[in-house]
């Protein structure tokens, strides 16, 4: 008999996992639970979550409660009577009454090597800290965030060129490779859940635009990692002449910075900025209110006085860089 799985997920990261379970004859998916459609884009028109679009394409029933704290929503889940629930970036911390609905509980996909990087931004944290590897953990959900025992875990190497976008895609595909056999093995009682070492746990913060601001006093390597970690959102940025300039791609120069941090050299190709160590080469940028462009095209069109600098962080009173949970 096929294993009945209720799938809870919302963003694009969860779609490969949903497709992997839906295409495997060992499973049936009587219900896909995802977040409500939310206004998005310039027109603020309601936009469905990526998981909803995929589920409808696959012909799967979709349920979009405002919250699973609603007793009526919980009752609707209970009537499905799944064997197990699978949670992949659903977007809400689940209460115990939901965790107890299925006899085999809830399995959760988390894109880090738990207990490292619990929380909402583990992909970005791995890049920010310059880690040599990361991976996917599949855990049994408990009430405490990302603290459940580990059912399966796989590692992948990092080469130092990943953005949060490209790394998220790799980890989403890795999760999809792992999930069918893990779910089947878990329900069959063939897999053990190993408790996490809570003393070794580290935590990440929610991503914010303020946390993506560049502090040019940092060394060039740290700034380059911040730029990659903040792509595609919220994008690393800095103030220049009172307006934001997003730095979308950059590289590290071998030339030691001799000007004050944040000083821009527009005559260099590509343009470069002084940091707390070596110069940073700007490759792609996005001026406030404009499209993204090559840094060389931007430099040809912008008019700045000689010795112009990006505004230091303390001039605007905002912190720089999210906590990476090292």
325 in a structural domain: no
Q: Is the domain of 178 the same as that of 240?
A: no
Residue 81 and residue 173 share a domain? yes
**pLDDT averaged over every residue in the chain:** 95
Structurally, the chain folds into a number of domains equal to: 2
What is the four-CA torsion angle of 215, 168, 112, 228, rounded to 10 degrees?
-20
Nearest to 109 by CA among 83, 77, 147, 136: 136
Q: Which 8-state DSSP code applies to residue 150?
A: E
Name the 3-class secondary structure at 266: coil
Distance between CA atoms of 29 and 52, rounded to whole angstroms? 13
For residues 309 and 260, what is the distance between their CA atoms, to the nearest angstrom? 8
Query: Distance between CA 273 and CA 54 in Å, rounded?
Result: 43
Of the three residues 200, 219, 248, the one that is the final residue of a domain is 200
Tokens of residue 80, six digits: 């499905």
Any bridge partners for residue 36, and if so which?
A: none
User: Domain for residue 186, yes or no?
Assistant: yes
Residue 153 and residue 263 in one domain = no
Per DSSP, the residues of 86-144 read EEES-SSPPPHHHHTSSTT-EEEEESS-TTTTBSS-HHHHHHHTT-SEEEEEEEE--SS
Give the model confidence (pLDDT) of 167-203 as tens digits. Answer: 999 999 999 999 999 999 999 999 999 999 999 999 9
State pLDDT tens for residues 244-296: 999 999 999 999 999 999 999 999 999 999 999 999 999 999 999 999 999 99
Shared domain check, 61 and 102: yes
Let me know whether 21 and 48 are in one domain. Answer: yes
Kindly state the DSSP code that residue 12 receives in the 8-state scheme.
G
**Three-state secondary structure call for residue 37:** coil
Q: State whether 84 and 134 are in the same domain.
A: yes
Q: Do 218 and 294 belong to one domain?
A: yes
Asked if 46 and 143 sit in the same domain, the reply is yes
Give the span between the Cα atoms of 285 and 293, in whole angstroms.
6
> Which of 144, 165, 200 is at the close of a domain?
200
Tell me, what's the pLDDT at 326?
A: 44
Has residue 267 been placed in a domain? yes
> Is 141 in the same domain as 224?
no
The CATH number for 50's domain is: 3.40.50.170
Domain containing 150 equals 3-200
**What whole-number distance in Å separates Cα of residue 151 and Cα of residue 143?**
16
Contact call for residues 49 and 57 (beta carbons, < 8 A): no
The answer to whether position 229 is within a domain reads yes
Question: How far lies 247's CA from each of 52, 150, 174, 230, in Å?
Answer: 32, 37, 29, 9
Question: pTM, whole model, 2 decimals?
Answer: 0.94
Given a cut of 60, whether residue 316 has pLDDT beyond it is no
Supply the Cα-derived Rg of the chain in whole angstroms.
22
Q: Are residues 13 and 92 in the same domain?
A: yes
| 258: CATH | 3.10.25.10
pLDDT given at position 325: 52
Out of 160, 176, 200, a domain closes at: 200
The pLDDT score that the predictor gives to residue 40 is 83
Same domain, 194 and 47: yes
């Amino acid at each position: 008999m096929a294993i009945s799985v209720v799938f809870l997920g919302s963003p694009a990261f969860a779609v490969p996992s949903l497709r992997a379970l839906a295409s495997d004859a060992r499973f049936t998916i009587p219900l896909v639970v995802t977040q409500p459609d939310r206004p998005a884009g310039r027109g603020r028109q309601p936009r469905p979550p990526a998981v909803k679009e995929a589920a409808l394409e696959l012909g799967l029933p979709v349920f979009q409660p405002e919250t699973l704290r609603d007793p009526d929503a919980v009752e609707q889940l209970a009537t499905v009577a799944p064997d197990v629930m699978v949670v992949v970036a659903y977007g809400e911390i689940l209460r115990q009454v939901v965790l107890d609905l299925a006899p085999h509980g809830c399995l959760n996909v988390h894109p880090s090597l738990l207990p490292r990087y619990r929380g909402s931004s583990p992909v970005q944290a791995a890049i920010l800290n310059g880690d040599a590897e990361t991976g996917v953990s599949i855990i049994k959900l408990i009430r405490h965030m990302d603290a459940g025992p580990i059912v399966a875990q796989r590692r992948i190497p990092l080469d130092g060129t990943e953005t949060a976008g490209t790394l998220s895609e790799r980890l989403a595909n890795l999760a999809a490779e792992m999930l069918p056999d893990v779910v089947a093995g878990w329900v069959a009682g063939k897999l053990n859940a190993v408790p996490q070492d809570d003393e070794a746990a580290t935590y990440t913060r929610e991503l914010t635009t303020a946390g993506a601001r560049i502090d040019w006093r940092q060394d060039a390597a740290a700034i380059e990692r911040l730029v990659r970690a903040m792509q595609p959102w919220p994008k690393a940025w800095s103030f220049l002449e009172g307006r934001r300039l997003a730095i979308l791609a950059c590289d590290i120069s071998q030339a030691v910075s001799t000007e004050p941090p944040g000083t821009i050299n527009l005559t260099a190709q590509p343009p470069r900025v002084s940091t707390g160590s070596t110069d940073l080469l700007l490759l792609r940028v996005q001026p406030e209110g404009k499209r993204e462009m090559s840094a060389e095209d931007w430099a040809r069109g912008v008019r700045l006085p000689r010795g112009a600098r990006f505004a230091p962080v303390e001039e605007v009173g905002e912190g720089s860089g999210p906590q990476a949970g090292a």
